[in-house]
Amino acid sequence: MKLELRMGDWMVTMGLVGLYRVFEYGLRNGVIDQRYRQSVLVLPQGLEVETDVLPQLPRAYFLYLIDEYSAAKRESERLLFYMEQAKRENLFSTASSNIKKVITDIGKRIQKYFPNEPVEPLFEKLKSIKKPTQWDQLQECVSDFQKMIRKEAINEKLTLNYFKAAILKSFFGQVSFLNVSKNYLDLEGHIEQFQTDYIGPVQYDLQLEYTLQSASKVDEILSFLDQHVDYGPFKALKKAWKKKTLSQVREEAKRLAECMLFPGHFAFYNFEEMVFSPIGLSKGNALNFNWNLQDKQPKPISSLAKLVLFFAPAGAAIYSKREQSYDQGEYRTYAGFVQSDAAFPEILQKNNHFKQMKQQKDPFDHIVSKLVQSITTEARYVIDHLFFLEFSSDYDSKKTHLHYYHLPLYLARYFVEYPGKLDYVHYEYREQFIQEVLRGVDPAQAIYRYLRDCIENGRSHIGPYIAVRERNRIMQLKKGVKGMEKTDKRVYALYRSGQEIRKTVEQAGAPKAAGHYSASPSKKISSIAYRLLNAAKAGDRKSFLDTLFRLHMSAERPISPLFLNALHERDLDFTTVANAFIAGLLSQEGQGEQEEVVS
Amino acid sequence: MKALRLKLFQETACYKKPFASKVAETYPLPPYSTVKGMIHALLRADRFISMRLSVQGEYEAKLLDYQRHYFFKKLDTVAFPLILDGIQENRFVYDTNGISTMPIYTHMLYGVNLLIHVEVEDSVLEQVIQAIEGGGIHYSLGRWEDLVRIDEYKIVFVEELDEEKDLRYHAYISDHLLDIDTRHIPYEIPWKYEIVNGVRKWEKVKVGYVPKGTTAPEGVCIDEDGELVFFHL
């Protein structure tokens, strides 16, 4: 039987992408037999799935995830990095203690599940390593450990535990094999549980639909229900239809709930937390979230929808990301997805591209530019309406951070016309910058934080200037301005005037009055930059200009009329004026050449 | 044909998507069901009134609001959410078996401008205008707290567009009007419902969310002041 699964809401499309990835993986690696190769077809509107292939999917699902999140691969890469570090004498002690920590943590887990593995001798050997001269011994330990962790059974168990806890749990909570009571299961046990909980119901429900259509007598339907009486929903149907005629049964079947995600299928389940935890709520604990306080099946969905949603983790790109500023905030695991108005094959391709780039840790702006460029149409810029979505969900605290990033026309134009311009901006600030821009928010706050970081840590870099200029370009594009040359020149002039003031202050040096302390020029510059930045952040034009005038007077330099924009904002807005000047004040000479490169 | 044109403004609004409970996601423009609901509420209607709608608009930015929500765990609980913040010596405690609270994120649109056309029987049209002029409570579109300011209401004549024109706002344009060249984000927007097994079963309209600046497809309408109209039926 053929099923057409149409894409729809993002979670459904994510599930379909996941299902196809798993199928493709299975076929490629011989998990799914070649005779099924035509069983899942990509259509413009979604997927066409032959029901025969369904039982093949659970094994492919687990092997795909084991391959994707292999503990052996991950830990080996980590150890390799530390081993490189340990080659340097001054870093040896930190690196070796990191290595010891990794090996001890993982080793203890191995010991728990595989008591016969020689973990204890490895620990003993590690303990004796203390000096940089023992690098070879350390290397020996690491390679012994790698051999151990690469054993199929060990890698399988550790990886299973990892993706269950770190990835699947945030999608589904403690349902099916994710329940703690199923922790003892091995790979085969997991596959079996998946079959029972997800594949079985889909097969039964579809067979019921078929039997209802094809039956010539009511007994055919009843005996079918009898055969699968252990399946919960059928038990109730059997009871209700026992003494009915065929036409009555068919009439009643029409009144059964219909799936909200895949219309036309019976809905015996409900969309709630255990089906898709990032946005669902537990049915019984949030009655007021349902229309008319419905407590039975407020959002009916079919077993098929439940299965498709279960593939969503394979459809997303998983990565960790720090929110907030550079030195604050914690890393969270995010699942990202690209949605666009394109046909399903294109969405699939874009998501594969997105996942690949996220794995390479490409910064967000690169990803956006690449995605935009890879689909550049005949037109000069892309009109395709891209939209990125990412979420981080914690099942235990019942909290989901979900972000939408739309790519409106002016931004698409920006990424096509100015690709890679943000390269000089520090990675963390660049991500924040792009994310704010994609949300339709002025990225000024990210620039303030960046400037503050530069002042605090005495960094001198071209980055803040680039950020100011790119922000200005984006704001201009938003307003519909086309040529950027004039406004770019103005920003550059302000930046240069900041640089020149710095040069003058530095050349003047500290006055040498005997017995009196006098701050060094760099300290002076930082304190002025702080004051200017605070004024800019508060939107206090008066205070900004006041400091600026004094600074120019003490440096005996004329003031550029461009600064008047801080008041009338005819050519540039106050934020750009202030930030461009501060960026100049913080950057040292010799960076004019760099500017040539990045303009 | 005649239609009522409404120009609306909302400082913030959330047009919640049906599946989004733990995070309240919002549609980019109010779905037809929400606009239909607002008109029905204005009329204090107790049954469905047939009408055609056109929804266009834009918003400045999206923001996240972290809100405390109350969760009812039992139907027969006597507990109810009563906010007593700021009251001195308050010893009131909730019955946590019946009610619990949790903060959740709500996506909100900021600075929403909407242009809505309603085509409905003349007599109903008059009633809507009367209701707007003599309304006794605040107007809201979306959730109860999403206040709406009615900047203009005007009866306009609508006719078929026979020239090329670009969209001034983002708009929902019905699937049957969209051609291959018109880029859009596909949505299935709820329109009206019937109650089946105690649950609302929605009739949905397939539309494309078309960004402003796009050239309007053929077969759409325009009103007497040159505003495009995209009726959903």
Note down pLDDT in tens along chain A; length 599 residues. 899 999 888 999 999 999 999 999 999 999 999 999 999 999 988 999 999 999 999 999 999 999 999 999 999 999 999 999 899 888 899 999 999 999 999 999 999 999 999 999 999 999 998 888 999 999 999 999 999 999 999 999 999 999 999 999 999 989 999 998 998 898 999 999 999 999 999 999 999 999 999 999 999 999 999 999 899 999 999 999 999 999 999 999 988 999 999 999 999 999 999 999 999 998 888 999 999 888 888 999 999 999 999 999 999 999 887 766 555 667 888 899 988 767 788 889 889 988 888 887 777 667 776 666 554 443 333 444 567 888 999 988 888 888 887 777 788 788 878 887 888 888 778 888 888 888 778 999 999 999 999 998 877 778 899 999 999 999 999 888 888 899 999 999 999 999 999 999 888 876 666 567 777 888 888 999 999 999 999 999 999 999 999 999 988 889 999 999 888 988 899 999 999 999 999 987 655 545 554 55
Which chain A residues are closer than 8 Å to B72 by Cβ? 286-288, 293
Q: Do A286 and B72 touch (CB under 8 A)?
A: yes
Taking Cα atoms as reference points, which of B79, B1, B63, B93 lies closest to residue A442? B63
CB proximity A286 to B under 8 Å = yes
pLDDT at A415: 81
Taking Cα atoms as reference points, which of A391, A336, A97 lies closest to residue B20? A391
Interface residues on B facing A, Cβ-Cβ cutoff 8 A? 17-23, 25, 59-62, 70-75, 100, 102, 104-105, 107, 183-186, 188, 196-201, 208-209, 211, 213-214
pLDDT at B233: 87
Query: Largest Cα–Cα distance of chain A, in whole Å?
Result: 111
pLDDT at A339: 80
pLDDT at A212: 94
**Which among A8, A284, A398 is the nearest to B73, CB-wise?**
A284
Residues 316-355 of A with CB under 8 A from B: 339-341
Instruction: Assess contact for A440 and A468: CB atoms under 8 A.
Output: no
Which chain A residues are closer than 8 Å to B75 by Cβ? 287, 293, 295
Instruction: Assess contact for A280 and B22: CB atoms under 8 A.
Output: yes
Model's pTM, two decimal places? 0.85
pLDDT at A329: 67
Q: Measured between alpha carbons, how far is A513 from A525 in angstroms, rounded to an integer?
A: 20
Q: Do A288 and B71 touch (CB under 8 A)?
A: yes
Determine the length of chain B. Answer: 233
Written as six digits, the tokens of A68 are 């994707």
Could you give the residue ranges of the DSSP H alpha helices within A195-300? 200-214, 218-227, 232-241, 246-254
CB proximity A408 to B under 8 Å = yes
Written as six digits, the tokens of B61 are 């930015």
Q: Do A440 and B20 touch (CB under 8 A)?
A: no
**Angle at which helices A10-28 and A57-68 pack, to 10 degrees?**
90
pLDDT at A325: 52
For A91, A184, A296, A305, the CA distances from A236, given in Å and listed in that order, are 67, 33, 14, 21
- Give the best residue of B16, B17, B21, B105 to mutate against chain A (max A CB count within 10 A): B21
pLDDT at A498: 92
The stretches in chain B having pLDDT less than 70 are: none
Q: Measured between alpha carbons, how far is B155 from B161 in angstroms, rounded to an integer?
A: 18
Written as six digits, the tokens of A376 are 């550049």
Query: Largest Cα–Cα distance of chain B, in whole Å?
Result: 70
Could you give the residue ranges of the DSSP H alpha helices within A40-91? 57-68, 71-86
pLDDT at A378: 30
Q: Do A9 and B22 touch (CB under 8 A)?
A: no
pLDDT at B156: 97
Taking Cα atoms as reference points, which of A422, A473, A411, A476 lies closest to residue A598? A422
What ipTM was estimated for this complex?
0.88
pLDDT at A381: 36
For residue B96, the distance in angstroms to the closest alpha carbon of chain A comes to: 11
* Chain B CA closest to residue A289: B21
CB proximity A384 to B under 8 Å = yes
Q: Do A404 and B62 touch (CB under 8 A)?
A: yes
**Which among A278, A295, A387 is the nearest to B22, CB-wise?**
A278
pLDDT at B124: 95
pLDDT at A332: 85
pLDDT at A434: 84
CB proximity A513 to B under 8 Å = no
* Chain B CA closest to residue A382: B183
